[in-house]
Copies of this chain bind each other. A is one copy, B any other.
Amino acid sequence: MIIIMRSHVTDEEVNAVENKLKGLGLGANISRGVERTIIGAIGEERSIHKESLQALSGVEDVIRVVKPYKIVAREWHQENTIIDIKGIPLGGKKFQVIAGPCSVETQEQMDLAAEKVAAAGCNFMRAGAFKPRTSPYSFQGKGVEGLKMFRQAADKHNLPIVTELMDVRYLDDFLEYKVDVIQIGTRNMQNFDLLKEVGKTHVPVILKRGLCATLSEWLMSAEYIAAGGNHNIILCERGVRTFEKAYRNMLDVTAIPVLKKETHLPVIVDPSHAGGKAELVPALSKAAIAAGADGLLIEMHPNPCDAWCDADQALAPDELSTLMGEMKGIVEVMGREF
């Protein structure tokens, strides 16, 4: 921690900071410059709150030197984490595509969707049984019945299932239906009670980035899950909110190399929610692979025009197959396997 004092600081103010640091078990290195006095706190700073120093008289700014996350930091764990999901690896050499409809609608729709996902060559299936909808008057998902339909459809093709958990009270149902990967959605990235609960299980978690979460906040949310004992965490970039109105969200492709440096966790990308339009999915998927992502989460619906939600962003089955073919070359150029 570095404490920058205001100009014209008094000796009493500098001493007060030094004493506060001592009380917290930290040493102090005082450096008197031409315009400013700087105090370097020496010791373990993660447990100290910046604000308690910031509130002291004469303090202009307090700057952290070490990152606030630890378990998820590459600094503390050099090798890439590879997550084993029913025998299928995510985060290693193999590039993975998770596909499926926005929401579970009917058993027929799910059976057909599962067939198409498998046929396209994807190894995982996604679908929402519980849906976070902006409007209380929109379809809210099939609930537990949807989990059952999803499980049944995916099992025919040995596809591990990925589905979103919005409420701690349904975690037991997720465990009962053996959900293979629990998705924590954008709106719940800082639902800390939910993070703590999934942190107590060993089920792999896809943690989506909040709509305007910084990379640091996102990694801190992953740290919440990890601190509970569950290190099977996959980060999913899905576009952030900006001033631009020409498309839905801005895919933060820069986040991929930055996360790869900061953390050992796998990083995947959701091009469907990012762009918000089916026609943008191919370009964004390819960009994600080229930037170093470990996988993709793509919306595919057996019949997009009849989808009960997000109809305009789902690929049709043949569009998914075509895209899988197009992506193969880039995956291989990037030194990975498809």
- Complex: how many Å from CA A32 to CA B167? 43
Whether A250 sits at the interface, judged by CB under 8 Å, is: yes
**Cβ distance A7 to chain B, nearest Cβ, rounded Å:** 6
Contact A254 B241 (CB under 8 A): no
Contact A33 B38 (CB under 8 A): no
Whether A324 sits at the interface, judged by CB under 8 Å, is: no
Whether A304 sits at the interface, judged by CB under 8 Å, is: yes
Whether A251 sits at the interface, judged by CB under 8 Å, is: yes
Contact B246 A258 (CB under 8 A): yes
Contact B65 A215 (CB under 8 A): no
User: Can you name 17 extra interface pairs (CB under 8 A) apart from A55-B307, A132-B192, A330-B333?
Assistant: A2-B2, A29-B31, A49-B311, A52-B306, A55-B312, A136-B227, A140-B192, A166-B191, A188-B191, A211-B212, A212-B243, A240-B244, A242-B250, A245-B245, A289-B290, A290-B330, A329-B333
Residue of B33, B251, B308, B333 near A333 (CB, 8 A) is: B333
With a 10 A CB-CB cut-off, give which of A193, A214, A241, A284 has the most chain B CB atoms.
A193
Contact A75 B7 (CB under 8 A): yes
User: Quick check: which of A39-47, A88-96, A107-115 contacts chain B, the rest being far away?
Assistant: A39-47
